[in-house]
């Protein structure tokens, strides 16, 4: 089976396997993320709700900033779906959200819910795309990949194309040019996704596209923002004589390389490095940094905070 059929079937299979296996406990893991105006009693109410349904809390992160009365939390808990069915879970948390006027209340049960559907956009550079695909194949990236979109062609005999064919993932080559961003076509292709990943996609998405798509887009910038915005940050870093280089993953906004930062990583460089090793170290960082950001995002750890920042639990 290919594509959508395979995904639905796989999700069902997973749920069935868990529900009907005798040696596996009937407990599922749930994640709840909450953002609301701060008041006394939110944690008490949330935890009481979970406990009253027999849920066992494993992990809680709560954050209320010093200077703003906003409450952020992320809770991990295990529960018995025969005692607390999925749809009741959903409505129980919705009630709480209403009660507290929550701006955000998301509950997710990774083993029951559909996996996040993504599309990956890439250009000529392969390393981030290939790394993502391998992690996905190793089941370390809990997403379904709807398709790959690239403005750079790849011949049928390349590693990437053959990999995609083996897994039934469509590859769409949409070459871009001045005045021709192909954004209408891209929008159609990514309509059914939950978020997008720009894996060294070198085209700038317009404000119109961002508004039309409306969902999150995660980008990897091969430099330590806000240093070295724009093109060829490795060369800029090399010429600046820095002793540390880095990569930054962030949400895409209209302003280039300026959206809320999710994750940053660094590596040491010295006089022994040339431009080639700068680039190589940078590529390693990009792979790690992008996949870490996606992982955090899928685990509901990333919450936008103020206008330019993120809470990352």
Q: Does 263 bind a second copy (CB under 8 A)?
A: yes
Q: Does 4 bind a second copy (CB under 8 A)?
A: no
| Total of chain residues touching a second copy, rule CB under 8 A | 33
User: Which of 65, 153, 175, 230 touches a second copy (CB under 8 A)?
Assistant: 65
Residue pair 25/118 in contact (Cβ under 8 Å)? The answer is: no
User: Which of 171, 246, 287, 296 touches a second copy (CB under 8 A)?
Assistant: 246
Q: What is the largest CA-CA distance in the chain?
A: 63
Smallest separation (angstroms) from a second copy to the CB of 90: 27
Among residues 45 and 243, whose Cβ is nearest to a second copy? 243
Q: Does 312 bind a second copy (CB under 8 A)?
A: yes
User: Which of 97, 107, 143, 225 touches a second copy (CB under 8 A)?
Assistant: 225
Cα 203 to Cα 216: distance, rounded to the nearest angstrom:
17
Among residues 98 and 268, whose Cβ is nearest to a second copy? 268
Does residue 92 carry a catalytic annotation?
no
Q: Does 2 bind a second copy (CB under 8 A)?
A: no
Among residues 180 and 309, whose Cβ is nearest to a second copy? 309
Among residues 23 and 67, whose Cβ is nearest to a second copy? 67
Q: Does 233 bind a second copy (CB under 8 A)?
A: no
Smallest separation (angstroms) from a second copy to the CB of 224: 7
Smallest separation (angstroms) from a second copy to the CB of 228: 8
Residues that are catalytic: 257
Footprint of a second copy (CB under 8 A): 63, 65-67, 224-228, 239-244, 246, 260-264, 266, 270-272, 274, 305-306, 308-312
């Amino acid at each position: 089976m290919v594509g959508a059929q395979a995904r639905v079937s796989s999700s069902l299979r997973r749920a069935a396997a868990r529900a009907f296996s005798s040696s596996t406990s009937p407990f599922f893991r749930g994640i709840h993320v909450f953002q609301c105006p701060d008041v006394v009693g939110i944690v008490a109410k949330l935890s009481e709700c979970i406990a009253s349904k027999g849920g066992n809390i494993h992990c809680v992160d709560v954050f209320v900033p010093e200077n703003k009365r906003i409450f952020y939390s992320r809770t991990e808990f295990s529960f018995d779906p025969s005692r607390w069915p999925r749809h009741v879970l959903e409505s129980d948390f919705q009630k709480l959200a209403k009660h507290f006027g929550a701006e955000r209340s998301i509950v997710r049960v990774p083993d029951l819910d559909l996996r996040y559907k993504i599309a990956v956009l890439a250009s000529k550079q392969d390393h981030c795309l290939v790394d993502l695909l391998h992690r996905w194949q190793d089941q370390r990236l809990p997403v379904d990949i709807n398709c790959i979109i690239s403005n750079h062609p790849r011949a049928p005999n390349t590693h990437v194309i053959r990999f995609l064919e083996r897994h039934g993932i469509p590859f769409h080559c949409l070459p871009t040019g001045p005045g021709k961003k192909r954004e209408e076509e891209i929008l159609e292709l990514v309509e059914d996704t939950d978020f997008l990943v720009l894996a060294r996609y070198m085209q700038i998405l317009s404000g119109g596209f961002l508004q039309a798509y409306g969902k999150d887009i995660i980008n990897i910038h091969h430099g330590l923002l806000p240093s070295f915005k724009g093109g060829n940050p490795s060369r800029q870093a090399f010429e600046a004589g820095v002793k540390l280089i880095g990569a930054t993953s962030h949400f895409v906004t209209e302003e280039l390389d300026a959206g809320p930062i999710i994750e940053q990583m660094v590596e040491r460089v010295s006089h022994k490095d040339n431009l080639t090793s700068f680039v190589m170290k940078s590529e390693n960082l990009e792979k790690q940094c992008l996949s870490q950001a996606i992982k955090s995002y899928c685990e509901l750890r990333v919450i936008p905070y103020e206008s330019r920042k993120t809470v990352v639990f």
